[in-house]
Structure 1
């Protein structure tokens, strides 16, 4: 089971590196669609909160080290905490709820809200510590208003992927065995 999760987490990390290239030529589209968020949310649901958080935290930092994007400060640092929260929350909430289609949406939307709040807190702390401008209006704009296309994209794509993995037995069997052992 651990090997399977490690492989899935590795695939998700690889997708975090590759998906932004699809929108990389037009940064505004990349910022709006947030392609790196998809594999992190998926990793949390497929592998659990710990793997999701780890992949989420590593992804923006590794991508900066490899490709120079996203800029590490303040965007990449705040994004690392945001994605870690996405991965952790999606995994924990998904595991806690019965495996019904509606609960995939509940897990996803809850994780997206938690991650955005964590992003805002991280940006606020950096603003206080380093004198970077960050207001409540900037939080609302960055976390919700400009993110609407990405939010819609995630709500459409991620549940389909999770349900496909459930049908393939990649999610349910792994989580059921973990719950019985743990």
Structure 2
């Protein structure tokens, strides 16, 4: 096992731990569903360590949170979040580390892609659960209620990635010259 793989595994574990702790703080002040605290470490994991690590972090973190804290409830919310966060982590890493998009572009596209996955998963799982779910509920939850969290993510995540790269805690993606 090489040094970078170990660093990526440790970083992913740290992101998972943050994904368990941050929601506890935000929910304590009643701001969990508004600021989307579990999303931040998952997206950060993908951007910092790559799509595979972001995918695993996105699947495991809401599952562990559900098992350890009861939040989110495993079905349908937790299962939906597993798909949504897996998409965020995987897309962020793929777009930033593999396709070499700018960190802001990779972040915004992954946020949109994750929300599309969330809408599809919610339609399926809420339907199976016999709960009401439709396009207006999707828009309200994914964009209106979540707007403060979206703004926070767009501000804080790129700054964290750039700071970690400049301090050489994580490697900068290899950019292809034109």
Cα deviation, residue 97, structure 1: 4.5
Cα deviation, residue 128, structure 1: 3.2
Match of 1:117 in 2: 116
CA distance in 2, matches of 1:47, 1:98: 13
**TM-score between the two structures when normalised by the length of structure 1:** 0.89
Cα deviation, residue 172, structure 1: 2.8
What secondary structure does 1:166 align onto? helix
When you count helix as a share of all residues, which structure comes out higher?
A: 1
Residues 79-98 of structure 1: pairs in structure 2 closer than 5 A: 79-98=81-100
**TM-score between the two structures when normalised by the length of structure 2:** 0.91
Does residue 154 of structure 2 align to residue 155 of structure 1? yes
Unaligned runs of 5+ in 2: none
CA distance in 1, matches of 2:36, 2:82: 13
Deviations 1:39-93 (A, max 9, x none): 0000001110010010111111101111111111111111111000000000000
Give the conservation status (yes or no) of the 8 Å contact 2:58–2:87. yes
Aligned length: 172
Match 2:17 to one of 14, 18, 43: 14
Which moves more between the two structures, 124-133 or 147-156?
A: 124-133
Residues 16-95 of structure 1: pairs in structure 2 closer than 5 A: 16-27=19-30, 29-95=31-97
CA distance in 2, matches of 1:172, 1:58: 24
Unaligned runs of 5+ in 1: none
Give the conservation status (yes or no) of the 8 Å contact 1:46–1:170. no
Cα deviation, residue 96, structure 1: 3.4
Q: Which runs of 4+ in 1 moved over 6 A?
A: none
Cα deviation, residue 98, structure 1: 4.2
Give the root-mean-square deviation of aligned CA atoms. 1.6
